[in-house]
Every structure is written in structure tokens, then in C-alpha cells.
Structure 1
């Protein structure tokens, strides 16, 4: 019997996903070209591509994308930085855990978009409420992934470092941080999706530019080809973020 001590190490096929996507798009285009589906309800991929090209040519696409990207990056960076600090505090100190988990458990289930009107009252009409909404959503998810990652670090490694009188800051940097990093990077995938959903929701409620605003306006005008073009942009953004995080994992977690 062949030795299987290498464990479960699945390898992704380079072309399987591409071929499956091409087949799905081809079938979609076929049923649209044959008139089996009303293009008002489901535009064809070619129709969506033409709408996207017209938006890019007019400059409207970059205007909406740049506004959304600025909000996403600002809110994600703010929420991630504060979430990492809070997560490590909860994972490392007893008093922070006692207080932090209580607040996280109470506030995390609240839909963050529901507090946008309150944030508008506090921060005024502008970019700040939207960025704060994204930051709140990212903060709680990051906090949970960080302290979960800290809790998952094998305690025997920490005790071994302590037995050699390794200073606490060095234990955190050399033992706890690398051990928690897989969970933190997995949390980044979740928080990127959270930020994307929140920016679209916030822009639909109160913004003049942004992908969410564009999608809402296209839907109200029944311009479904432009609506689907906006959704395509969101999907491409998600794919780009996923690829970036995969590159970070390959670089930072090469020891696994």
C-alpha cells in the first residue's frame, strides 16, 4: 500500500476553473442569443461587456470605482489595525479578554449598516460615516479571527520559550504572531468581503458616486446591462483581493 504520510495536500488544477467559467459563459451567451431569455431580465455576457466598455470610455467607471476603492481601503485599514490590536489584547491578557469578549459578543451581531444613520448624525454627511461603517464591520471580524488565532497557538511552544526565559515581547513576535498568522490571513478574506458589502450598502443609502450608487441607479432605470456591469466590477475586485491574499499566504506562510 502506498505511503500517505504526506497528509491531505490538495492541488488546484490551473485550467479547470478557467474552463468551467468559459463553459458557463458560453452557455449563458447561447441561451441569450437564441432568445430563450429576455435580455431585460438577463443580459448576455457580450451585452454586459459592451456596457462596461461604454462606461470605461465615458470615464464614469473610474469615477465610481475610485470613490468605492478609497472608502474600502480607508475603512478596511482602520478596522484591521484596531482589530489586530484588540484581538491580541484579548488573546494575551485576562482582563482584556473578560471585557473584550463581552463587548464583541454583544455588538458583533448588530448589522453595521443599521448604525449608518446614527453615524451620519455624529460625523455629518460626507465620507466619514461610510468609512466608519466599513471600519466597524471589519473591526469585529478581525478581532475574532486574531484572538482565535492566538488561542490556537500550541501552548507547549509558549511554555518552551518561557522555560528558556525568552522575554514576553519576543515570545509574541517569534511564537504567537507566526502561529496566529494563518487565522489572521483567513480573516482578511472575510473582512475584504465584509468591506465590499458594506461599501455597496452605504453607497446605496447616501452617496453620489460609487459602485453601490451606480448599481442602484441602473436598477431603478431598468438598465440591467449596466447593473450587471457594476456587479461584474465587484466580482473582479473580489477575485483580485483573493489573489492578493493568496500571494501573501504563499510568502508569509511558506513554513507550513
Structure 2
């Protein structure tokens, strides 16, 4: 009897372990929210650098004091130079990225939905994707001039190719069982694309959007370092030429904040478009 009871208890044990709910989020396990830890680590790193520069452990020719960088940023803002340099940078990033991402999503959808277009364009995309886009800046200057046109073109071209790859890859990853189910219910091709393919591909497209916008910020700085009077890239170039580390790191900090804001914007779009995934 004791052996039977032990066996029964052992048999019930796994059932109890498996009976608990497993919470999912977006097809994966729900991550714990520890936002404060990231902020704490950042503050600790800044504190270490501040202490190291004040105590002489870190040479001022290597890293400036974070307090001096913050003071430079405050003066940069109060003088009105922040708006003067940030406004054209944001304008270039928005226009160039919008052109590149819109074209990339369109081409990526065509590649994902039509095999003939896939056969013709995938080799072309594979050929131009590895090309360093910064190396093409002189060519864009020749084609579009040294003004805004070349900057828009560089950012658009740089965001175009990763968006194409992310989009048609997302379309390929849509569950084919859902498509067959839609066909069995007699849905038209347009309805299947609109109700099944696009929602299923949207997570992959938005993930690619984060990468494309990050590349756009990198190319923005490169474009502004050539022939731009105002812009964060031009500001960083001027600071580097004068070996003014405080101004240089202030410009880098502005770019970091811009990247965080762009990522937060994509997250908001993701929450609105992917409510069904929660």
C-alpha cells in the first residue's frame, strides 16, 4: 500500500507541475520588467568615469569629465545652438528614412508575394546590400549635389536595403497553415494578404525598422560631415577638428538620446499595431 501511495504521489507530482499557467507574450515567455537596473548601471558607469577623471586614473585627453560634458550640453542648449543643429538633422532623418523605408517595404512585399519578382530582384538586393553606403556618399554628391539632395539619397538608400530584406523575410515566415486555412474558407488573394500575410509579417517588418532607423542615424552623421553647415554631424566634426572632447561627447550624447527616442517611437507603433499578439 505504501508503495502504491508513493507511486500515486509521484504520478500526481508532474501533473501539478504542468498544471500551472505558462504566460506568453508575442510567441515567447514574458520578460520581467527591470528598467531601474539599466538606469542604475548607467549612473554607476558615469560615476566611475567621473571619479576616474577627477582622481587622475583616466587621462583628460582620453575621456572628459561627465560633469563637464553635461555643462557643455547645458550651454549648447541655452545658446540656441541645439535647436539650430538638431532641427536640420531630424528633418534629414525623417525625410530620408521615410523615402527609404516606404520603398523598402513596398519592394519587400512584392518580392515576398510574387515569385517572378523575387527571382529578378533578390540577386540585385543581395548585390547592393553589402556595399558600405558611406562609400557612396561622393557619388551621391556628384549626382544630387552637395546640398540636401545627396543627404536624403544616402539615408534613403541606406535604409532601403535592410528594410527590403526584413520585409520579404517576414513575409516568408508567415505561417503557411494560416494561408491554407484562409484558402479553404474561400478568401480571395487580396483578403489573404490583408488579413493574414500583412498582420503575420508585421512583427518582422517592425524589427527590421529598428535596424533601418539605426543605420539612418549613422548615415545622417556621415552625410552631415560633408558639406553641411548645421547638423549634429557637422557639430561633432567641428569639435573633433578642435579636439574639444566636451563638445564631441555632447554631440555623441545627443545622438544617443535621438536613438533612444527613435526606438521608443517604434515601440509605440508596435504596441498599437500588434495588440493581437499580447
TM range (shorter): over 0.9
Residues in 1 aligned to 2:38 and 2:272: alpha-carbon distance in whole angstroms: 23
Residue 149 of structure 1 is matched in structure 2 by 170
Deviates more, 1:196-205 or 1:227-236: 196-205
Q: 1:109 aligns with which of 118, 130, 133?
A: 130
For structure 1, list consecutive stretches of 5 or more residues without a partner in the other structure. Answer: none
Residue 270 of structure 2 is matched in structure 1 by 249
Q: 2:32 aligns with which of 11, 23, 48?
A: 11
Q: 2:59 aligns with which of 38, 41, 53?
A: 38
Residue 94 of structure 1 is matched in structure 2 by 115
Shift of 1:125: 2.2
Where in structure 2 are the equivalents of 1:1-256 lying within 5 Å? 2-3=17-18, 5-6=22-23, 8-256=29-277
Shift of 1:236: 0.4
Task: Please say which structure displays the higher CA radius of gyration.
Answer: 2
For structure 2, list consecutive stretches of 5 or more residues without a partner in the other structure. Answer: 1-13
TM norm structure 1: 0.96
Residues in 2 aligned to 1:12 and 1:143: alpha-carbon distance in whole angstroms: 32
RMSD across aligned positions (CA): 1.4
Deviates more, 1:57-66 or 1:84-93: 57-66
Residues in 1 aligned to 2:140 and 2:237: alpha-carbon distance in whole angstroms: 22
TM norm structure 2: 0.88
Residues in 2 aligned to 1:119 and 1:249: alpha-carbon distance in whole angstroms: 33
How many residues align structurally? 256
Shift of 1:123: 1.4
